[in-house]
Amino acid sequence: MRFLTGWRGIVHRVFLNTRVTAKMSAAAATNGAKRAAAEADEASAKKSRVDGGGGADVAPQPAGAEVPSAERWKLKKVLLLISYSGKGYLGMQRNPGCRTIEEDLLQALFKARAIPEHGLREQQSVWFQRAARTDKGVSAVKQCVSLKMAADTEGILEAINSHLPDQIRVFDMRRVTKRFDAKQQCCARTYQYMSPTFAFAPLEAVVSEQYRMSDEVLENVNRLLKKFEGTHNYHNFTSRRQPTDPSSKRFIMSMTCGKPFVRDGIEFVVIKVKGQSFMLHQIRKMIGTAMAVARGHAAEGVFERAWSLDRIDLPMAPALGLMLHEVSRQRLTPPSHLRGS
């Protein structure tokens, strides 16, 4: 009942008291801390990376470090398949002083002797890269990470998992080519969002566990979600982009709502959205806006206004229920002389 009470409060607070009001952008938000800084760090780190050979090689020691005489690290490029619950974490990406998925994963890799100490201090030195960045509280069913590690050690996956909390698990490991990059090779990300159906209930409906979504309401929700498909300017769906910033344009391949199902007396639906990439809070604001329109708190015209250069406030659905479902790997086109007729 705590979950139900929490959702009632969210629906009441976010949607009953939220008006989607237009206001011209006076100044862009300047608190672009985590992602912008991380991208700058990754760009500068490339200059100092070691050569990323895919076969066995010796990992370099950081300047001034004592080189063990009897130990040489033989690292190979691999792809790890991991899953995690984002509850209690401040996101996937490593952030000093914060509890993140990457911090716990790197600590486990080091304790299992899969990476050397310099790989723990500077993950770029072992070519560590994630396929997708998940935000605070967001979980992942199929997340991929590429890096160079001691892959030939017997029982290495069991050793890594023994040092991980129960919320994180490494399920598989595959050798990849020396130039493989989990982020660059990912051409699409698919997220799922599970929500109680009463979050989409019309104003005249009673918001409670007894609510059941009709076929008409489900059809209307899917009609609203389809508006997001294609390329649009999503500067209003995040907190740190200028309306004229080209990176605010994102391509959504599909967005649909599945049929309702009942668990413990409460009816739920799962929304699936697939896109090339997403910005901070983008999916939660997309779903929050669809909820506001479906309930009658905002007119459908809000979609076009949100994609314009005007700055408007949009409601944001809670992180609870959002998960990275899978990442799609880019298929490389073989040379012409190797293709079939």
182: nearest Cα among 327, 54, 55: 327
Helix axes 282-295, 215-226, angle to 10 degrees: 140
Provide the annotated binding site for substrate: 191
Q: Is 181 designated active site?
A: no
Provide the annotated binding site: 191
Active-site annotation holder among 41, 51, 104, 135: 135
Separation between Cα atoms, residue 279 and residue 133, nearest integer Å: 9
- Residues with a catalytic annotation lie at 135
